[in-house]
């Protein structure tokens, strides 16, 4: 069998595996899976390879825990859509990489970021100096494109977060899909921009910054404050600028956040998958946590909240549930 054919069969096996463990498989689909496995020895071999790799990946660290039950719980968490409700469909299966290596690689270095002008890997912060003398600090799992010219200075934040230290000169802009933060001509500034799925946060660390949404709303952001842009509107953020940018020092400053937002902030610093169950996701959190030691951060959360934290072999999956 060619490598291409073997890869195609593995993709089919992964699709069947996801469907069979989703909890929504019908009896008709189950019989179709049985027919597919019995149709060719190569089908059964692909199924055994994929399901066997999964079971080894999901073996619990705790020896007293039921392996089969824990693996089922772990897979259910993997298949559970996150707050952005990503879908697993067709051949574009995020889970495929977890079984065969692609997702593992993605957790070390975000694959889309490889095409950017500059990017960071998981748990990496990176400083760089631009030709105009501006200095950028990229947060973990961030990616940017840079466009510098005689009359323009523009950075496109494709993923993650950055802090820009900008000397006076032509206007300097950091753009996301929701809008842009701009330092006017002949003014220097220091500010942070963080891109999330549905909105962008901007924090003015030194000097004011002008905000412009994609649909035309505008507002100045005063030094020391932070704000959100969602593409059409601009709203004040409760966090002060320095707290929003605490990641530059490897810290996460949390003031009455839901637990799932804390988990979102820890994910860029953890190579394994980190999932929080719905029953625990809305617990409120207050404190400061180390980003560069996510195990210690999770331990601190477990000691202050009614939650359980279960780690699976190799650290590739950590589940947080209500205790």
- Looking at per-residue pLDDT, the higher value among 60 and 167 belongs to 167
- Looking at per-residue pLDDT, the higher value among 72 and 317 belongs to 317
pLDDT per residue over 206-225, tens digit each?
Answer: 999 999 999 999 999 999 99
What's the confidence (pLDDT) of residue 185? 83
Closest to 298 in 3D by CA, of 278, 314, 272: 272
pLDDT per residue over 139-156, tens digit each?
Answer: 999 999 999 887 889 999
| Cα gap 241→237, rounded to integer Å | 9
| Cα gap 59→23, rounded to integer Å | 20
Q: Is the pLDDT of residue 12 over 70?
A: yes
**Which strand (E) or helix (H) includes residue 229?**
strand 226-229
What's the confidence (pLDDT) of residue 58? 47
- Looking at per-residue pLDDT, the higher value among 105 and 132 belongs to 132
Global pTM value:
0.71
Contact yes or no for 213/234 (Cβ under 8 A)? yes
Break the chain into its structural domains and give their ranges: 3-100, 117-240, 250-322
CB atoms within 10 A of CB 303: 8
pLDDT per residue over 233-275, tens digit each?
Answer: 999 998 888 889 999 999 999 988 999 999 999 999 998 889 9
Structure tokens at 232: 């059409």
Q: Is the pLDDT of residue 92 over 50?
A: no
Decide if domain 250-322 falls under CATH 3.55.50.30.
yes
pLDDT per residue over 174-207, tens digit each?
Answer: 999 999 999 988 789 999 999 999 999 999 999 9
Closest to 156 in 3D by CA, of 189, 129, 181: 181
Compute the mean pLDDT over every residue in the chain, rounded to the nearest whole number. 82
CATH of the domain spanning 117-240:
2.60.120.1440
What's the confidence (pLDDT) of residue 169? 87
- Looking at per-residue pLDDT, the higher value among 238 and 295 belongs to 295
């Amino acid at each position: 069998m060619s490598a291409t054919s073997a890869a195609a069969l593995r993709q089919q096996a992964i699709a069947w595996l996801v469907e069979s463990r989703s909890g929504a498989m019908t009896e008709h689909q189950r019989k179709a899976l049985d027919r597919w496995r019995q149709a060719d020895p190569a089908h059964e071999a692909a199924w055994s390879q994929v399901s066997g790799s999964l079971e080894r990946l999901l073996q619990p660290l705790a020896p007293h825990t039921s392996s089969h039950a824990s693996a089922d719980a772990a897979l259910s968490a993997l298949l559970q859509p996150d707050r952005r409700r990503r879908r697993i469909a067709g051949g574009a299966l995020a889970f495929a990489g977890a079984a065969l290596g692609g997702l593992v690689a993605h957790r070390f270095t975000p694959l889309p970021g490889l095409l950017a002008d500059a990017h960071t890997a998981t748990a990496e912060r990176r400083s760089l100096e631009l030709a105009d003398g501006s200095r950028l600090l990229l947060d973990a799992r961030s990616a940017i494109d840079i466009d510098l010219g005689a009359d323009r200075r523009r950075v496109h934040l494709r993923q993650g977060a950055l802090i820009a230290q900008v000397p006076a000169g032509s206007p300097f802009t950091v753009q996301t899909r929701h809008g842009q933060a701009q330092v006017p001509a002949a003014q220097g500034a220091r500010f942070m921009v963080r891109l999330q799925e549905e909105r962008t946060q901007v924090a003015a660390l030194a000097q004011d910054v002008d905000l412009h949404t994609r649909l035309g709303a505008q507002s100045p952001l005063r030094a020391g404050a932070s704000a959100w842009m969602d593409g059409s509107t601009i709203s004040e953020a409760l966090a002060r600028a320095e707290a929003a940018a605490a990641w530059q020092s490897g810290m996460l400053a949390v003031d009455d956040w839901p637990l799932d937002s804390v988990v979102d902030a820890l994910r860029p610093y953890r190579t394994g998958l980190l999932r929080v169950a719905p029953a625990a996701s809305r617990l409120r959190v207050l404190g400061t946590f180390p980003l560069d030691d996510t195990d210690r951060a999770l331990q601190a959360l477990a000691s202050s909240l009614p939650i359980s934290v279960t780690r699976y072999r190799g650290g590739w999956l950590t589940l947080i549930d209500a205790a």
